[in-house]
Structure 1
Amino acid sequence: WRGRKEKRKARECEGECWDGMVFKRIKQTFAVLSELAQFGKAEEKQLDLLIAREQKKLETLKTMHADIDQQMSKVQMDMLKQVGSELDEVHSAIQKHDEMLAEQLKNSVVGEDAMQRGMVE
């Protein structure tokens, strides 16, 4: 009986040792996983900060783009008003010139009539 008892005790001891090694391995694995999780959280925070900065830059660019569009529209309207004003001036000058030519034509016709009347008499 002694041999069997010793063998059984040896197997139990081996099992306990094996269990202890497995437990130790599991504990080490959880420690590594915990470190990785902490590292992952730190990386996630860094990424969140980076994303927030980039979103802020994007919003700034959108605002700048809107301001530029507004300024360009204003410049275009100012240019259109200026061109319209210049066209009005040109139109007015053409009308005055047309009136002057009409007056000259009228005077010339009146003068020609008078000359013809004078010749006829």
Structure 2
Amino acid sequence: MSMNILAANLTALAGATLLALQPGEPDAVIQPAANAAGSACHIELADTADGLLVTAWGQGEAGSNYRMVVTQRMGGGGFDIVQEGDMPANGAGDALLSDILLDTEADFTARLSTWDASGEPLCNWNERV
């Protein structure tokens, strides 16, 4: 496992939001792709030089929250990376909720769920690679 991927996974496990940029793009800003079918949340996957970047996007108002669980499986075992918290209010647009860099040799699933301030589900999104 490369040091960048190990650092990304450790950062994710610590609950911090990780912003991964491509080498040579020091001022790059991650922007969402078109929101899939108008969903209140979605997950994007992007191959990078250092691994697979899993980015979670969502829409919400004050008090909304999210939970993303990435289950990574390799050889003889696996682990979950869980990131959760309050969704940043971003008007009508998507807000960056989480991004995690994964080893491309691993099998994984990513699940994103969002809830409004009263605890009612807003969105569920699943990706498997």
Name the TM-score, length of structure 1 as normaliser.
0.13
Using CA pairs below 8 Å that are at least 6 residues apart, which structure has the higher relative contact order? 2
Instruction: Name the structure with the higher helix share.
Output: 1
> Quick check: which has more Rg, 1 or 2?
1
**TM-score normalised to structure 2 length:** 0.13
